[in-house]
């Protein structure tokens, strides 16, 4: 490998692929994190696997990173509105638990999932509720600068004062923003104006409330990301990531308020990176009542979390992916074949600190000084793929081709596998084929069997709702006879086949 390929990333700001050169050491990176009012679903997890791919690409290019992921435990209103109820408070009322219990429970669920998906930990996971004082100061500064106005419902950012408002979303006229702003807020001057502070409505005392110059209430959702990222990464930093839905509103508002606050005429963040959606509709899979499928549902259906990771990385992050049972089966089978091929080559060099230069050196050492052009070419392909806006499908293909290539010796394969795993994070050094055998899983049930089980589970839920405990117990016994185990969770019953 000669020098390596320049890392290039697709910047949503300007909608083009650009050379990425860090502006600081470490380079600052911020990812919009979860709102902890429900289990994260599989679509949510795509954003974190994507951010993890960015992390791995930077590590590969020997760029040190300071990564911050926020935990939204206050401020995020239902349907992303300015005046709606807080998502965490709604969940607390629904589950009859305190807001602290809700936030703690779902924060832990989030950490379980990112760990299961082998996502590199961030340097900081700030909780929004711990930064409300700084959010109030930030909003007060904006008010002093004349960028805001007061309404009975709170303090609003005046987007008319920002001539570049909406640049990220490429929206040049206010009228184009209809879709995002269906909410009617009395007195709001423009549809694009948004709440920095959400005042308590008279007679509607919030659970999470703070005193502020604009009365008792809670911060607006967009405010927290600006405040926490600036507090932890400094006024300007290199990368901000999130799902493509954030590009249209949340990130537009983060930029507007941050640039108004900083007032130095410089772009707040240099690179805005967004992953496309994961379409969840197509999969047939047992899942928690009412919710979208989550990682635990996949595991219950007999899939390994690394198979889901491989499924995600098999598509480019800027392409929509359809989540289907067939695609998951294929991903698990691909991973099982990879692991079966790799197992005899172990132990492998460590992947978790590997950068491109070290990988190239390892390849040279592994070939005992002999030139191994096929292996060098494979490594160059992987480097070119990650550098070209994170083309994970091409890295996977390069690895598979190398494993099939009789010209590449086992000594040269080992550093190649480690290189691919440093970029893909599939745990190729430790996974066992036995981990990837499909148990008799819910996914294999015939549709009639599945319907029969789901009907029984629904009847049992109804019986419990009516406090008909005898009937509920009787149905549980019937399910037990079918080999079905039901677990009651805060969001409803989850069932799985007994292993």
| 87: its two tokens | 């998502």
Q: What are phi and psi of 468, to 5 degrees?
A: -90, 80
User: Which CB, 32 or 142, lies closer to Zn ion?
Assistant: 32
CB of 154 to Zn ion, least distance (A): 19
Residue carrying the six token digits 């799902």: 243
How many other CB atoms are there within 10 angstroms of residue 413's CB atom? 22
Choose the binding region for Zn ion from 7-15, 30-38, 39-47, 327-335 (rule: CB under 5 A): 30-38
Q: Which stretch binds Zn ion (CB under 5 A): 28-36, 55-63, 101-109, 144-152?
A: 28-36
Rounded to whole angstroms, the Cα distance separating 424 from 416 reads: 12
- Alpha-carbon distance of 330 to 325, in angstroms, equals 9
69 binds Zn ion (CB under 5 A): no
Restricted to residues 207-236, the positions that interact with Zn ion (CB under 5 A) are: 225
DSSP 264: S
**For Zn ion, the closer CB: 275 or 367:** 275
Q: Is 225 or 227 the residue whose CB approaches Zn ion more closely?
A: 225
Establish whether the linkage from the previous residue to 26 is cis, with ω within 30° of 0. yes
Let me know how long the chain is.
Answer: 499
Between 42-60 and 373-387, two packed helices, what is the crossing angle to 10 degrees? Answer: 120
Judged by CB under 5 A, the chain residues 273 through 302 that form the site for Zn ion are none
Number of amino acids touching Zn ion (CB under 5 A): 2
Both tokens of 419, joined, read: 């290189």
Stretch that binds Zn ion, among 29-37, 143-151, 164-172, 173-181 (CB under 5 A): 29-37
Residue 378 interacting with Zn ion (CB under 5 A): no
Q: Does residue 239 touch Zn ion according to CB under 5 A?
A: no
**Cβ of residue 244: shortest distance to Zn ion, in angstroms?**
13
Minimum CB distance to Zn ion smaller for 240 or for 304 = 240
Query: Who's near 157: CB < 8 A, 6+ residues apart?
Result: 142, 147, 148, 193, 194, 195, 196, 253, 256, 257, 260
What minimum distance in Å lies between the beta carbon of 250 and Zn ion? 5
Among the listed residues 7, 32, 63, 364, the single contact to Zn ion using CB under 5 A: 32
- The DSSP 8-state label assigned to residue 204 in this structure reads B
The least CB distance from residue 258 to Zn ion, in Å, is 11
Beta carbon nearer to Zn ion, 151 or 256: 256
On the CB side of 107, CA atoms within 13 Å amount to 17
Closest distance between Zn ion and the C-beta of residue 226, in Å?
A: 8
Minimum CB separation of residue 240 from Zn ion in Å reads 8
The one segment of 27-35, 141-149, 195-203, 491-499 that binds Zn ion by CB under 5 A: 27-35
d(C-alpha 345, C-alpha 347), whole Å: 6
The Cα–Cα gap between 44 and 418 comes to 28
CB-nearer residue toward Zn ion: 32 or 117: 32
Q: How far apart are CB 105 and Zn ion at their closest, in Å?
A: 22
**Residue number with CB closer to Zn ion (32 or 417):** 32
Minimum distance between the CB of residue 268 and Zn ion, rounded to whole angstroms? Answer: 13
Closest distance to Zn ion from the beta carbon of 296 (Å): 25
Asked if residue 477 lies in contact with residue 485, where contact means CB atoms within 8 angstroms, the answer is no
Q: Which residue has the tokens 């499924």?
A: 311
Non-local (6+) Cβ contacts of 3 within 8 A are: none
Task: Name the site residues for Zn ion (rule: CB under 5 A).
Answer: 32, 225
């Amino acid at each position: 490998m000669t020098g390596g390929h320049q890392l290039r990333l697709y910047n949503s700001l300007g909608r083009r692929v650009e050379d990425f050169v860090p502006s600081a050491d470490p380079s600052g990176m911020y990812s919009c994190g979860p709102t902890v009012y429900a289990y994260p679903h599989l679509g949510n997890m795509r954003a974190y696997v994507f951010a993890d791919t960015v992390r791995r690409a930077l590590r590969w290019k020997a760029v040190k990173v300071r990564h911050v992921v926020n935990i939204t435990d206050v401020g995020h209103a239902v349907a992303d509105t300015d005046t709606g109820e807080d998502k965490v408070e709604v969940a607390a009322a629904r589950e009859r638990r305190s807001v602290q219990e809700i936030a703690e429970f779902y924060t832990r669920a989030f950490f379980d999932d990112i760990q299961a998906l082998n996502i590199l930990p961030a340097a900081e996971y700030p909780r929004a509720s711990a930064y409300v004082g700084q959010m109030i100061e930030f909003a007060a500064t904006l008010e002093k600068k004349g960028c805001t106005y007061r309404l009975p419902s709170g303090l609003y950012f005046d987007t008319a004062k920002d001539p570049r408002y909406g640049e990220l979303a490429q929206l040049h006229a206010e009228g184009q923003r209809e879709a995002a702003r269906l909410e009617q807020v009395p007195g709001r001057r423009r549809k694009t104006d948004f709440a920095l502070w959400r005042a308590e409505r008279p007679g509607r005392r919030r659970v999470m409330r703070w005193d502020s110059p604009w009365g008792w209430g809670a911060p607006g959702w967009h405010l927290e990301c600006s405040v926490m990222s600036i507090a932890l990464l400094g006024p300007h930093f290199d990368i901000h990531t999130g799902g493509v839905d954030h590009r249209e509103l949340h990130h537009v508002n983060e930029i507007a308020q941050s640039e108004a606050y900083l007032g130095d005429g410089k772009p707040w963040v240099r690179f805005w990176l967004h992953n496309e959606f994961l379409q969840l509709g197509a999969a047939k899979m047992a899942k928690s009542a009412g919710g979208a499928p989550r990682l635990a549902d996949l595991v219950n259906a007999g899939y390994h979390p690394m198979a889901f990771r491989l499924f995600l990385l098999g598509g480019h992050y800027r392409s929509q992916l359809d989540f289907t049972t067939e695609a998951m089966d294929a991903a698990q089978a691909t991973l099982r074949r990879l692991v079966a091929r790799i197992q005899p080559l172990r132990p492998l060099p460590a992947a978790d600190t590997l950068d491109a230069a070290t990988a190239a050196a390892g390849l040279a050492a592994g070939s005992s000084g002999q030139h191994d052009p096929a292996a060098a070419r494979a490594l160059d392909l992987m480097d070119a793929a990650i550098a070209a806006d994170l083309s994970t499908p091409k890295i996977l293909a390069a690895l598979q081709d190398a494993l099939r290539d009789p010209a590449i010796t086992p000594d040269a394969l080992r550093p190649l596998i480690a290189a691919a795993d440093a970029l893909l994070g599939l745990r190729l050094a430790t996974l066992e084929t036995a981990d990837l055998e499909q148990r008799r899983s819910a996914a294999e049930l015939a549709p009639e069997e599945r319907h029969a089980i789901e009907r029984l589970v629904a009847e049992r839920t109804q019986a419990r709702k009516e406090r008909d405990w005898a009937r509920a117990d009787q149905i549980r016994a019937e399910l037990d006879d079918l080999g079905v185990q039901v677990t009651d969770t805060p969001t409803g019953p989850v069932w799985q086949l007994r292993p």
